[in-house]
Amino acid sequence: METIAVIEDNVLTGDMLTEILMEEGFQVIRAYSGTEALYLLKHNKPDLILLDLVLPGLDGEGVLEHIEDIPVIILSSKAEVEDKIHLLNEGACDYITKPFNTGELIARIFVQLRKEKSSVNHAEASTVSVGDLTLDPLSLNLIAQAQVVKLTKTEAVILKLLMSHSKYTVSKDFLLDSVSYETPDCTEKSLKQHIYNLRKKLCSINSNIQIETVRGVGFKLSENRA
């Protein structure tokens, strides 16, 4: 199940968006101010963000500056073309003017989610590095401290997702949904075993990167500096 963050200070609008999104099968997390949004995104990695511009405290444009690697659709009553161009240049992937048609909003959300999944799949063969750790998904080699260990296909897909989102806690649902595109044999039960095997292999090559369990959420990478 994909997760969408609704960052909107108007309770009625936020409730309406939540109801619509849940009817479409999405999980929804919410924030009502810019400061709350930053806290929410520090502890969660949604698949897409719906962002209002006029927020208490830090405004939507300020929030946008702190968002990386997550598609953001701006929802705003500001209809000037200059505002749209500016926000799109600043990193938003789409801009919808309020009031909006809910059918159009859902369609645009699905477009962005398809783009994100396509981007993940096309990047599958790219080498990725975090700390002293380098993963080559093509050869399935994991390298650290001049030592190499071979991963299974499923392990490589899981670890690459964690490494590609190393600044965040990656939810279990996001992992399972993403991994299923490459290795449909990965289930909620087997994910635990794959994580356990990855931890053993990280130890075997003396990597300073470890996989932490964030209770009730998912997993994240951390660096052991000891």
Domains detected in the chain: 3-121 (3.40.50.2300), 125-223 (1.10.10.10)
The predicted model gives 159-168 an average pLDDT of 89
What's the rounded Cα separation, in Å, for the pair 226 and 122? 36
The predicted model gives 43-47 an average pLDDT of 92
Predicted pLDDT of residue 185: 64
- Whether pLDDT at 197 is above 80: yes
Question: Comparing 24-33, 112-121, 129-138, 158-167, which segment has the lowest mean pLDDT?
Answer: 112-121
Predicted pLDDT of residue 187: 79
Tally helices (H) and strands (E) across the chain.
8, 12
Percent of the chain beyond pLDDT 70? 92
- Whether pLDDT at 123 is above 60: no
Tens of pLDDT, residues 76-89: 888 788 888 888 88
How sure is the predictor about 126, in pLDDT bands with cuts at 50, 70 and 90? confident
Q: How many CB atoms neighbour CB 25 within 10 A? A: 8
- Whether pLDDT at 121 is above 90: no
Q: How many CB atoms neighbour CB 133 within 10 A? A: 22
What's the rounded Cα separation, in Å, for the pair 66 and 97? 22
Strand partners, 165: none
Question: Comparing 168-172, 174-178, 210-214, which segment has the lowest mean pLDDT?
Answer: 174-178
